[in-house]
Amino acid sequence: MLHLSRTIVTVIAGVMAWITTADQASAQAADTAPLQLEAKIPLGDVRGRIDHMAVDLKRQRLFVAELGNDTVGIVDLPNRKLLHRIAGLKHPQGVGYEPTTDMLYVANAGDGSVQLFEGSDYKPAGRIELGSDADNIRVDAATNRVFIGYGSGALAVIDPATRNKVGDISLKAHPESFQIDPNTSQIFVNVPEARGIAVVDHGSQKQIGKWPPANRSANFPMALDPVRRHVLVIFRSPAELGVFSMTDGKPIATTETCGDADDLFVDAKRARIYVSCGAGFLDILEVKETTYRRIARIPTVSGARTSLFVPEMDRLLLAVRASSAQPAAIWVFRPTP
């Protein structure tokens, strides 16, 4: 019996040593990860899906489209706290801040409207009716225009000075993520229902091309790499990154990613790509010429697929929806080194 007891003690000690070693290894791995979790900012009583985000750099405030809550949260980033909440919206999907007019744009999927709010105190400042499914917003400083995807296939062109729609760019189906090339007059648009990537000339306000990605579908997130002149697109089926030449759409590279991605960003300073996935991970990819290699996969929370990388602040912000285990929050990641 004594021999048996000593054996049990020895086994337990071995297991505890193994657990301690594993914990130490995990902590060391976290310390050397290319993204370090710096803070969790609570969003308060927010339920349901969280969609896209935007930032007011001057005030360092984050705008969070709380789609399932019919609200937009406004977060004070330096003080890491919720500052204000705009209520009474209709499934807000897209948010955009236009600095020259100090105006917040909120695109509502529920009624197709775009509501405007003053950047200083968030008082209502106007409303633009688009008809249905108002979605992603992009503010283009080069042309002094705001572009908003909506409906069964269009980009609305808004003049921020007059707060009126001044044009429409027709597409074959509803646009998801789209990006504006700062060096040309082209806009690249994910149009998953039309199984392709549309190329638009915003000078003529017409589609001038389409890239049909072979054997892939559900292309939602998109980013541009203006240095390498690449268009980066995440497909959900299968879950992978596709890299295309910005000039002619020629495929450059592909690599597997985490599932249910909704955002990706280029960190030009470190030649990295950040991908946020609803499967509960952040993927970090390293770029070397035409090679894209995953260097880390960081666990997050299931459903946390929306993020925003702010190069001016050198932070990646991840929107984490409420669950039975924890409340809704913005997770702040600091890239290293």
* Whether the Cβ atoms of residue 330 and residue 319 lie closer than 8 Å to each other: yes
- Calculated CA dihedral for residues 162, 164, 168, 171, nearest 10 degrees: 120
What pLDDT score does 30 carry?
59
Task: Decide if 8 is inside a domain.
Answer: no
CA distance 60 to 153: 33
What pLDDT score does 278 carry?
98
Task: Decide if 27 is inside a domain.
Answer: no
Total tally of structural domains belonging to the chain: 1
What element of type H or E holds 8? helix 2-31
In sign, the C-alpha dihedral spanning 252, 253, 254, 257 is negative
Task: Decide if 20 is inside a domain.
Answer: no
CA distance 260 to 304: 10
Task: Decide if 15 is inside a domain.
Answer: no
pLDDT along the chain (337 residues), means of 10: 43 41 43 94 97 98 98 98 98 98 98 98 98 97 96 98 97 98 93 97 95 94 96 98 96 97 98 98 96 97 97 98 94 97
* Whether the Cβ atoms of residue 275 and residue 258 lie closer than 8 Å to each other: yes
Q: From edge to edge, which strands make up the β-sheet containing 154-159?
A: 137-140, 145-150, 154-159, 164-170
**CATH classification of the domain holding 245:** 2.130.10.10
What pLDDT score does 10 carry?
45
Q: How many CB atoms lie within 10 A of CB 308?
A: 22
Task: Decide if 202 is inside a domain.
Answer: yes
Task: Decide if 28 is inside a domain.
Answer: no
* Domain extent for 266: 40-335
What is residue 192's three-state secondary structure? Answer: helix
Half-sphere exposure of 110 (CA within 13 A, CB side): 14
Burial grade of 13 (CB within 10 A; 0-12, 13-18, 19 or more): exposed
What pLDDT score does 4 carry?
39
Task: Decide if 50 is inside a domain.
Answer: yes
- Determine the Cα angle at 250 with ends 254 and 305, to 5°: 40
What pLDDT score does 32 carry?
84
Task: Decide if 35 is inside a domain.
Answer: no
